[in-house]
């Protein structure tokens, strides 16, 4: 099993003490922090029985669990199966794709429950959690999975854990700025999850640039079966994206609408992806890389606006455009990013999350700016944008401006945070693989 290493490039990828210690210490820290801070929210606490009576709630159905649990499970599948299997396209990195994704996500959701909890669910010294917190933790980790796609195959599990720790932290800060300070809508996370995650990951991979990565070029492709496994990931992401974009929207029409808009955008996206995949190749054949990835861009690009009155045809237009942008990106932009900007983007996240995320932020800003009481109804208008309290007088066009500011903030946070974390990950102590052993499971796995 032990294979000879190229002399000159030998790196110490021995994980035996570094990985276990990191995992165990961090998990102990989680237990302590959860012990100090995390408790059940009112709807998950046994006291709910009494609270129901006080609040005149007549049906157990009013528990938020029943509004959100099915969506939560779909999102949960997307993070662990969707991302995990999508990244399995590499011929010899299946264990790493699904296994490291499993590891970082399992740690990330715990840390996200804390970080997001301190910002959003902190009451009288405790973080009170319920099903919505679980969804938001999965969302937060989703942005880490996105960034993982850029550095897939080139990092050690410890580096991934460190990136997760920092990225979740920065995600929570950025999310707080957007949702609470700018009072921006972003239910499906075009800005907070995709734009932030993608440009964060791209910055990290830029800093970790490997000039001699062509030494493992033979392993960077797919084989027939790895492409089929990847399609499992693609399809679950595609199918459950309506749940993703609607999972934390307001009860009722907003959740309903977000699911429909996303469904429409994704459907249109498949057709333009297929069209451009065939058109951009001399032989006119379809390329599985595009089918696996660009078909999902439509979900990313309505992440902000899906819960708004984007309308079904508006969603089709967004999906139409993003299938094209994303496929063109895979064909023309990815090679240029690597050769000119030294950005080695293993999964092409710039095409699937970066550009569509930006488009999603812009579509959201426009849709918000174009909102009228006529389209939303008087009450619906206030509810949709939460124009209450200190935001009572905010107008749609001002809201649009803040939405646009949210894109900029997310970008800045991503670039600055990615630079910081990339610098940390560049330290030669984390056990990353040599150039010629990238994209290969048997460095970190018993094969």
Task: Report the site for a copy of itself in 80-109 (rule: CB under 8 A).
Answer: 80-81, 84-85, 88, 94-95, 98-99, 102-103, 106-107, 109
Residue 59 CA from chain centroid, whole number? 35
- Residue with structure tokens 């429909």? 260
Report whether 172 contacts 139 (CB < 8 A).
no
Nearer Cβ to a copy of itself (175/287)? 287
Q: Select 13 or 215, whichever has its Cβ closest to a copy of itself.
A: 13
3-state SS record for 57-112:
CCCHHHCHHHHHHHHHHHHHHHHHHHHHHHHHHECCCHHHHHHHHHHHHHHHHHHH
Please state, in angstroms and rounded to a whole number, the distance separating the CA atoms of residues 367 and 281: 35
Distance CA 181, CA 195 (A): 19
Spatial distance between the Cα atoms of 365 and 400, rounded to a whole number of angstroms: 4
The span of 143-151, 199-207, 236-244, 353-361 binding a copy of itself (CB under 8 A) equals 236-244
Residue 239 touching a copy of itself (CB under 8 A)? yes
Q: Does 44 bind a copy of itself (CB under 8 A)?
A: yes
Site for a copy of itself in 196-235 (CB under 8 A): 224-225, 227-229, 231-232, 235
Query: Least CB distance from residue 357 to a copy of itself, whole Å?
Result: 22
- The single-letter DSSP state of residue 42 is T
**Closest to 405 in 3D by CA, of 373, 351, 364:** 364
Which of 125-133, 330-338, 347-355, 402-410 is the region at the interface with a copy of itself (rule: CB under 8 A)?
125-133
Single out the residue of 5, 11, 67, 426 in contact with a copy of itself (rule: CB under 8 A): 67
Cα–Cα distances in angstroms (integers) from residue 357 to residues 185, 209, 293, 333, in the given order: 14, 24, 14, 16
> Would you count residue 119 as binding a copy of itself (CB under 8 A)?
no
Q: Per CB under 8 A, does 27 bind a copy of itself?
A: yes
Examine residue 26 and tell whether it contacts a copy of itself (CB under 8 A): yes
From the list 32-40, 330-338, 360-368, 403-411, the region that binds a copy of itself by CB under 8 A is 32-40
Select from 43-51, 167-175, 341-349, 404-412 the region that touches a copy of itself (CB under 8 A): 43-51
Q: Which of 3, 4, 8, 35 binds a copy of itself (CB under 8 A)?
A: 35
Measured from the CB atom, is 28 or 416 closer to a copy of itself?
Answer: 28
- Tell me how far, at minimum, the Cβ of 135 lies from a copy of itself, in Å: 11
Least Å distance between CB 233 and a copy of itself? 11
Binding to a copy of itself by residue 387, rule CB under 8 A? no
Residues 241, 104: Cα–Cα separation, whole Å: 21
Stretch that binds a copy of itself, among 9-17, 148-156, 179-187, 343-351 (CB under 8 A): 9-17
| Residues facing residue 126 across a β-bridge | 123
Tell me the two tokens of residue 167.
Answer: 């990225």
Shortest CA distance to 228 belongs to which of 79, 75, 91? 91
Minimum distance from residue 228 beta carbon to a copy of itself (Å): 5
Q: Are 361 and 407 in contact (CB under 8 A)?
A: yes
Residue located via tokens 């709807």? 43
Pick the binder of a copy of itself from 4, 124, 283, 389 (CB under 8 A): 283
Judged by CB under 8 A, does residue 43 bind a copy of itself?
A: yes
Near a copy of itself in 244-273, by CB under 8 A:
251-257, 259-260, 263-264, 266-268, 270-272
- Determine, following the binding rule CB under 8 A, whether residue 328 of this chain makes contact with a copy of itself: no
Residue 167 CA to residue 115 CA, distance in Å, equals 11
Cα 19-23-27 angle, rounded to 5 deg: 170
Angstrom distance (rounded) from CA 288 to CA 384: 39
Q: Is the separation of the CB atoms in 216 and 378 below 8 Å? A: no
Please, what is the minimum distance in Å from the beta carbon of residue 216 to a copy of itself? 18
Site string for a copy of itself, 408-447 (x = CB under 8 A): ----------------------------------x-xxxx
Q: What is the DSSP letter of 317?
A: H
Residues 299-318 that bind a copy of itself (CB under 8 A): 309, 311-313, 316-317
Q: Counting contacts by CB under 8 A, is residue 3 touching a copy of itself?
A: no
The continuous run of DSSP H or E covering 40 comes out as strand 38-40
């Amino acid at each position: 099993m032990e294979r000879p290493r190229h002399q000159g490039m030998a790196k110490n990828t021995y994980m035996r003490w570094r990985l276990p210690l990191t995992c165990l210490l961090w998990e102990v820290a989680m237990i302590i922090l959860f012990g100090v801070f995390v408790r059940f929210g009112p709807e998950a606490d046994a006291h709910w029985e009494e609270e129901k009576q006080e609040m005149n709630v007549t049906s157990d159905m009013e528990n938020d669990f029943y509004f959100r649990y099915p969506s939560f499970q779909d999102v949960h599948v997307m993070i662990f199966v969707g991302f995990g299997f999508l990244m399995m396209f590499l011929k010899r990195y299946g264990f790493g794709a699904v296994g490291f994704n499993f590891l970082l996500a399992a740690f990330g959701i715990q840390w996200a429950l804390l970080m997001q909890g301190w910002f959003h669910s902190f009451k009288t010294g405790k973080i009170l959690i319920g099903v919505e917190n679980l969804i938001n933790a999965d969302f937060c980790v989703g942005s880490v999975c996105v960034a993982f796609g850029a550095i897939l195959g080139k990092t050690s599990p410890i580096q991934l854990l460190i990136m997760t720790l920092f990225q979740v932290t920065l995600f929570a800060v950025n999310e707080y700025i957007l949702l609470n300070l700018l009072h921006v809508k972003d239910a499906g996370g075009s800005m907070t999850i995709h734009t932030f995650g993608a440009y964060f990951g791209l910055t990290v991979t830029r800093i970790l640039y490997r000039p001699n990565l062509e030494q493992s070029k033979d392993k960077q492709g797919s084989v027939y079966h790895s492409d089929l496994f990847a399609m499992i990931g693609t399809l679950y992401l595609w199918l459950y994206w309506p749940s993703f974009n609607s999972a934390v929207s307001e009860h009722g029409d907003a959740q309903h609408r977000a699911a429909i808009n996303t469904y429409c955008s994704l459907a249109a996206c498949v057709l333009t992806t297929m069209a451009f995949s065939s058109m951009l190749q001399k032989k006119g054949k379809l390329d599985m890389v595009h089918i696996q990835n660009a078909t999902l861009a439509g979900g990313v690009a309505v992440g902000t606006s899906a819960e708004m009155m984007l309308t079904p045809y508006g969603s089709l237009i967004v999906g139409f455009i993003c299938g094209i942008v994303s496929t063109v990106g895979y064909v023309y932009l990815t090679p240029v990013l690597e050769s000119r900007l030294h950005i080695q983007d293993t999964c092409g996240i710039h095409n699937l999350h970066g550009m569509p995320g930006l488009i999603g932020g812009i579509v959201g800003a426009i849709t918000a700016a174009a909102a009228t009481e006529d389209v939303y109804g008087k009450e619906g208008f206030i509810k949709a944008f939460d124009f209450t309290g200190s935001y009572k007088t905010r107008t749609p066009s001002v809201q649009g401006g803040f939405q646009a500011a949210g894109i900029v903030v997310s970008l800045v946070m991503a670039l600055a945070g990615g630079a910081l974390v990339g610098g940390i990950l560049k330290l030669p102590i984390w056990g990353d693989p040599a150039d010629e052993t990238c994209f290969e499971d048997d460095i970190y796995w018993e094969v």
